[in-house]
């Protein structure tokens, strides 16, 4: 029976790369995103099942899980959707803080919860969450993103402990700077600053992240649980902390 994987944030660059890689590996994919137009266009091109909706709403997440269960053996859930709140904490309003934390962490918590309900009933499953090297390394003007991603990594470790004996694994992938159409300006801004400091910037591609996600979902990663793999060209272990 074909394995089915849910990928959230499937209309974005990294989400699309993950979905395409899983399809290439023989999985079926249910893609979830709030951007219905972009998601539909990608679904028509790639051949995934689209579920458009707000990932903070349970009906969207349940719809994705139900769609996956109807197609085959529902065995994977990828928490990829994210927002990118940038700014120093004192310069953000209470509403901006709440939106940043809720928008980044709630879909991971509730998506994982719904996936776990199905995986426990089925006796197996794998969750992979896209976090960031910001979760473990301070960078200027990214405090809320770092808090949310740190929380997501902690959740994966907790799930690994609580559900590992039921055949369920939970791991994280922590990208560094990944070039997409949406962040090209930020990439160049960062490159200019690093060059002025005499440092070299390593920039990855969405496919680099997708390859590690596919590995963690595959049977060959059966002994990895509660792990976090940095996909950053070595940036997390490099000297200096100013992105």
| Pairwise CA distance, residues 125 & 217, whole Å | 9
The answer to the question of residue 116 being in a domain is yes
The answer to the question of residue 240 being in a domain is no
Kindly report the CATH number assigned to the domain that includes residue 153: 3.40.50.720
Residue found by looking up tokens 């934390």 in the block: 101
The pLDDT value recorded for residue 183 is: 84
User: Do the Cβ atoms of 136 and 152 come closer than 8 Å?
Assistant: no
- The pTM for the full model equals 0.94
The pLDDT value recorded for residue 28 is: 98
The pLDDT value recorded for residue 216 is: 98
**Which residues, listed in sequence order, are joined to residue 174 by a DSSP beta bridge?**
230
The answer to the question of residue 208 being in a domain is yes
The answer to the question of residue 237 being in a domain is no
The pLDDT value recorded for residue 240 is: 52
Residue spans of beta strands (DSSP E) within 160-224: 168-175
Residue spans of beta strands (DSSP E) within 80-231: 125-130, 168-175, 228-231
Burial class for 135, CB neighbours closer than 10 Å (0-12, 13-18, 19+): buried
Residue spans of beta strands (DSSP E) within 80-186: 125-130, 168-175
The pLDDT value recorded for residue 25 is: 97
The answer to the question of residue 238 being in a domain is no
Supply the range of the domain harboring residue 222: 3-231
**Which residues, listed in sequence order, are joined to residue 4 by a DSSP beta bridge?**
28, 74
DSSP-based three-state secondary structure for 242: coil
The answer to the question of residue 242 being in a domain is no
| Other CB atoms within 10 A of residue 184 CB | 10
Q: Which of 49, 48, 115 is nearest to 79 (CA)?
A: 115
Backbone angles phi, psi at 31, to 5 degrees: -105, 135
Catalytic residue among 34, 102, 145, 163: 145
pLDDT tens digit sequence for 137-159: 888 888 999 999 999 999 999 99
The pLDDT value recorded for residue 62 is: 98
| Residues in the chain where the model's pLDDT stays below 70 | 238-243
The answer to the question of residue 239 being in a domain is no
| Pairwise CA distance, residues 214 & 221, whole Å | 10
The pLDDT value recorded for residue 192 is: 84
- Domains contained in the chain, number: 1
The answer to the question of residue 236 being in a domain is no
In the residue annotation, 145 being an active-site residue is answered as: yes
């Amino acid at each position: 029976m074909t394995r089915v994987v849910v990928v959230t944030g499937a209309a974005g660059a990294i989400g699309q790369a993950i979905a395409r890689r899983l399809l290439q590996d023989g999985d079926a994919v249910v893609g979830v995103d709030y951007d219905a137009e972009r998601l539909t266009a990608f679904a028509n091109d790639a051949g995934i099942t689209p579920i458009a909706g707000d990932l903070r709403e349970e009906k969207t997440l349940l719809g994705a899980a139900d769609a996956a269960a109807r197609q085959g053996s529902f065995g994977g859930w990828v928490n990829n959707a994210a927002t990118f709140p940038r700014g120093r904490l004192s310069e953000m309003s209470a509403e901006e803080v709440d939106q940043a934390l809720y928008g980044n962490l709630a879909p991971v918590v509730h998506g994982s919860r719904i996936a776990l309900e199905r995986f426990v009933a089925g006796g197996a499953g794998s969750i992979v969450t896209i976090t960031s090297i910001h979760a473990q390394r301070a960078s200027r003007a990214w405090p809320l993103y770092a808090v949310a991603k740190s929380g997501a990594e902690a959740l994966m470790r907790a799930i690994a402990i609580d559900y590992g004996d039921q055949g369920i694994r939970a791991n994280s992938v922590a990208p560094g700077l990944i070039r997409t159409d949406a962040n090209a300006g930020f990439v160049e801004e960062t490159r200019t600053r690093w060059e002025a400091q005499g440092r070299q910037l390593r920039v990855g591609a969405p496919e680099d992240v997708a390859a590690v996600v596919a590995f963690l979902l595959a049977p060959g990663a059966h002994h990895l649980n509660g792990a976090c793999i940095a996909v950053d060209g070595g940036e997390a272990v490099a000297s200096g902390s100013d992105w």
